[in-house]
Chain A
Amino acid sequence: MTTVTADTHDDHHDHGPAKGFMRWVTTTNHKDIGTLYLIFSLVMFMVGGAMAMVIRLELFQPGLQFVDPGFFNQMTTVHALVMIFGAVMPAFVGLANWMLPIMVGGPDMALPRMNNWSFWILPFAFAMLLSTFFMDGGAAAGGWTLYPPLVLQGGNGFPYMIFAIHMMGISSVMGAINVIVTILNMRAPGMTLMKMPLFVWTWFITAYLLIAVMPVLAGAVTMLLTDRFYDTSFFSAAGGGDPVLFQHIFWFFGHPEVYILILPAFGVVSSIIPTFARKPLFGYSSMVYATASIAFLSFIVWAHHMFTVGMPIEGELFFMYATMLIAVPTGVKVFNWISTMWKGSMTFETPMLFSIGFVIMFTIGGFSGLMLAIAPADFQYHDTYFVVAHFHYVLVTGAIYSIMAAAYYWLPKWTGNMYNEKMGQWHFWLSTVSVNVLFFPQHFLGLAGMPRRIPDYSVQFAEFNMWSSIGGFAFGLSQVFFCYIVYKTIKGGEKATDQVWEGAEGLEWTLSSPPPYHSFTTAPEIK
């Protein structure tokens, strides 16, 4: 009897996906869901980018030419929310969906139905967030950090924004649970934890960070909601509460969140550099330990975002020292990447270019981060364009560069088609020149005294703002070009081999390009 059942099952083995629109709605396949996440993320990247264009347009010259200051504040606020929760996080979840089951030698994600749900929540969450632009009072305008009391002055869109954040949080937590369960249960025999590719490791640790902090954010925004509508006073001094308490709770979420956005990037780069250096990753185990140390430290440094709120000296010293410590494991990672390149046999295809761009410019962002850690100097840097430059170096030329690198690296595997190498290189160089024209002058603006989140500025800041805006427009256009490259690759192109890259190692390259609908139906052998 059992034999018969097994046979029947085998007959239906390669049934493939359902056809048409419903395939995508009902899919429980990790590759389909990964694709959905990645496309959603690209769309949100364009939406958030459009808001950045409005910001740079208004800041092109001193004086207010285009938008009302209130609308400008909505732009900065929603730009950040969309980019963080809509572009970067879903992109990494998409990469995780596509690659984790393959990398550990499993057939699919462990919890496929939940996987479907955690994706399909997102379009609704963002539709709700973006719909607040059309409500009385417009979208949230108090900054993505949602500091009370300011955020409580928002219009009718406020509760919708809070609900949208709750939905994003639920989606992220479900995604994280799925990642952990997949990694712990779906590994092929012989795939021990310390044999997993670093991308799997970094996502494993990221998933724990997500589960630890998303509920904290949910709690914080729920308290905002009750403060506004149910007469509680968690964050109102007049009712016995404390506005600074919100900042502590928010950044207890917010700082690990920063690492949620960057740890998977470390994993991506750690996969790509060895491939194109044709040399194994240097210091694999120290990379794992460094990632874990960064994750631990991320929980004890949050108040460096709020050095100016007037903490006691002991608090400031503790958070200054702890923050400086993060430089150590982060440095270890950078040194390991360089040692991987050292004495390799390097070629510079687009994924490698973006990875090298990542290492260099992320390190620049790390340097300004180290400067910001010095509390007395932070009293000057805080809330200026210096900070804006810092976090865009780590998030745009950090997280987003790694996502671009990953897209070029795995697109041939996903689609079975090679992207156009020449166009990829153009995209890299256009992006890299423009992104530095865009963000580097912002260091100078901040040091010279330009606060962040202002729609208009004194004339001494005019030159660098104009540079920055020109860089911004060019960077924006370059990403439209990226969309075109991706579209063209999906549509067709030179057929990719299974191996794709000469120096590539790992289970994903043992499968066909594109891989079969169910990745590994029999567990691969792990050497």
Chain B
Amino acid sequence: MNKLKQLFAGGALLTFMSSVAHAEYGLNMPVGVTETSRQVYDLHMLILWVCVAIGVVVFGAMIWSMIFHRKSKGAVASQFHESMTAEVVWTVVPFIILIVMAIPATKVLIDMHDASEADMSIKVTGYQWKWRYEYIGEDVDFFSSLDAASNEARQVGSKIDPSTVDNYLLNVDRPLVIPVGKKVRFLLTASDVIHAWWVPDFGWKKDAIPGFINEAWVKVDEPGVYRGQCAELCGRDHGFMPIVVEVKSEADYAIWLAAQKGEEVVAKMEAEVALVEGLTADDLIQKGEEVYRANCVACHQMKGEGIAGVFPAISGSALVNGPMDAQIDMVMNGKVGTAMVAFKNQLNDVELAAVITYQRNSLGNSVGDSVQPSAIAALR
């Protein structure tokens, strides 16, 4: 018993100390930064207080009864066991309360469903385990994954204290950027399994389902950075695909958008040059390492060791060390029914050539050959 007490005391002390260390923690739903999120918050508080009120009455009656109607106080049991009036009252009264609740809930729901007359649309695609954002009609299209610092700290036995990492697990390499005060429509889908896109400050989450397109919208009042996470179990790294939305003023957004377009043009030109001129093996390996880290480590692991039984190793793999065609086919087209997706839909020719070359000549493999982007392009 003493041991147990010590454990309790120790735990309580530890908790108290750590709450002093980072005092900011939420008890309630965030009010959020959109009209919708405020309405949802109001509904939440309304139903909460209704429950509290009913609870006070119900538990009050129980506690009263337990205090005063106990045998040790000499209470003698009455033998009543039926009352039509009571049954009717406690059927009808809750029913009326429910109707009162249902009216505002219906209103908010209808409002949330109305994604018409949006100022702009963004297609959001869930991948295992990152998000892709395509600005429809703007030629801006990028992936957004967990930032490097969090990713390093979250490895099993990393020995890095998460509290030293900025926005641990809630930070990404490239955030989604949207303008303030505009109705932004999201078209949500997924490429592999079901994900769910959720930023609590926006007041909703919506599933991203492969083969289907869901619709949702947001109109944010104030610029800022808003964070969320994937909310539908999507495999091993479900807990590691955060969402970060930067809401900028209209002018800043326009600047950002122009810069993005510029970058995309440069990247495309580079890719085309590489396609025509080819790259040295060293360049390919160097680029391949970047691509590998961003796309492959979640399953195949940092050193290519994989996870026994689930994710095959790259190091010493018969496929990687065998004829290159088979490996190219695997990387480009994936393997149906597994987490290995068709990367030809995610990576460009340079990236595919680079990562294939990298795998053959690194991670404990030394086949010694390489593949050019043009060869990949020919297989598309």
Contacts and interface: CB of A to CB of B under 8 A. Distances in A.
Interface of A: 62-70, 73, 135-138, 141-143, 147, 149-150, 152-153, 155-156, 228, 236-238, 242-244, 277-286, 308-310, 313, 316-317, 320-321, 324-325, 327-328, 331-332, 334-335, 338-348, 356, 359-360, 363-364, 367-368, 370-371, 374-377, 379-380, 382-384, 444, 447-449, 451-464, 466-467, 470, 473-474, 477, 503
Contacts of A135: 309
Contacts of A238: 210-211
B193 A149 contact: yes
B212 A237 contact: yes
Given A313-B109, A444-B27, A460-B26, A280 B236 contact: no
B8 interface: yes
Given A228-B337, A359-B62, A466-B18, A447 B26 contact: yes
A324 B100 CA distance: 11
Interface string B66-104: 100111100111111111001100110011001001100
Contacts of B153: 63
B245 interface: no
User: Which 6 pairs from chain A and chain B are nearest by CB?
Assistant: A237-B211, A448-B26, A454-B239, A310-B214, A367-B51, A379-B204
B14 A466 contact: yes
B154 A64 contact: yes
A10 B168 CA distance: 76
B233 interface: yes
A390 to B, nearest CB: 12
Contacts of A343: 65, 69, 75, 77-78, 80
Contact of A149 (B101, B112, B188, B194): B194
Interface in B48-68: 48, 51, 54-55, 58-59, 61-62, 65-66
Contacts of A316: 109, 113
A328 B91 contact: yes
Contacts of B24: 460
B6 interface: no
A367 B44 CA distance: 12
Contacts of A325: 98
B71 A63 contact: no
B114 to A, nearest CB: 9
B71 A346 contact: yes
A363 B66 CA distance: 17
Contacts of A278: 71, 77
Interface string B6-41: 011001101100110010111111100000000110
Contact of A67 (B70, B76, B156): B156
B209 to A, nearest CB: 6
Nearest to B201: A449
Contact of A70 (B15, B163, B198, B307): B307
A243 B209 contact: yes
B162 A328 contact: no
B105 A374 contact: yes
A242 B194 CA distance: 12
Nearest to A433: B8
B307 A346 contact: no
Interface stretch (B223-231, B273-281, B325-333, B358-366): B223-231
Contacts of B192: 149
B98 A282 contact: no
Contacts of B163: 62, 459, 462
Contact of A363 (B55, B80, B198): B55
B194 A63 contact: no
B47 A347 contact: no
Given A155-B309, A451-B229, A68 B156 contact: yes
Contacts of B204: 308, 376, 379-380
Given A370-B51, A456-B239, 15 more contacts: A62-B162, A69-B236, A155-B310, A228-B337, A237-B211, A282-B82, A324-B102, A327-B98, A331-B91, A346-B69, A374-B43, A377-B105, A451-B230, A460-B26, A463-B25
Contacts of B207: 308-310
A57 B98 CA distance: 40
B106 interface: yes
B156 A64 contact: yes
Interface in B227-248: 228-240
B354 interface: no
Given A338-B62, A449-B200, A344 B239 contact: no
B29 to A, nearest CB: 5
Interface string B148-171: 000001111110111100011110
Given A147-B194, A332-B91, A342-B65, A379 B51 contact: no
A345 B105 contact: no
Residue among A63, A70, A451 with max Cβ neighbours from chain B (10 Å):
A63
Given A278-B77, A332-B87, A63 B158 contact: yes
Given A149-B193, A278-B71, A279-B81, A380 B29 contact: yes
B33 to A, nearest CB: 14
B203 to A, nearest CB: 6
B138 to A, nearest CB: 24
A284 to B, nearest CB: 7
Contacts of B113: 313, 316
A495 to B, nearest CB: 23
Contacts of B255: none
B319 interface: no
Nearest to A383: B231
B211 A243 contact: yes
Given A73-B235, A324-B102, A460 B22 contact: yes
Contacts of A503: 77
Contact of B79 (A280, A360, A370, A371): A280
B210 A380 contact: no
Contacts of B12: 470
Given A63-B154, A460-B24, A376 B169 contact: no
Given A332-B91, A383-B196, A448-B25, A458 B169 contact: yes
A350 B175 CA distance: 56
B2 interface: no
A143 to B, nearest CB: 5
Given A69-B237, A138-B309, A153 B337 contact: yes
B162 A63 contact: yes
A474 B235 contact: no
A334 B55 CA distance: 11
Nearest to B81: A280
Contacts of B158: 63-64
Contacts of B210: 149, 237-238, 243
A391 B271 CA distance: 52
Contacts of B232: 147, 383
B338 interface: yes
Nearest to B24: A460
A150 B169 CA distance: 22
Q: Which of A66, A313, A332, A462 has the most CB of B within 10 A?
A: A462
Contact of B55 (A152, A367, A473): A367
8 contacts: A73-B236, A277-B77, A280-B81, A346-B69, A360-B59, A376-B109, A376-B112, A463-B15
A61 B180 CA distance: 36
B174 interface: no
Contacts of A282: 80-83
Q: Which of A283, A340, A345 has its CB near the most chain B CB atoms (within 10 A)?
A: A345
B215 interface: yes
B251 interface: no
A196 B368 CA distance: 81
Interface string B172-211: 0000000000000000100011101010100111110111
A141 B309 CA distance: 13
A370 B102 contact: no
A65 B310 contact: no
Contacts of B43: 374, 376-377
B339 interface: yes
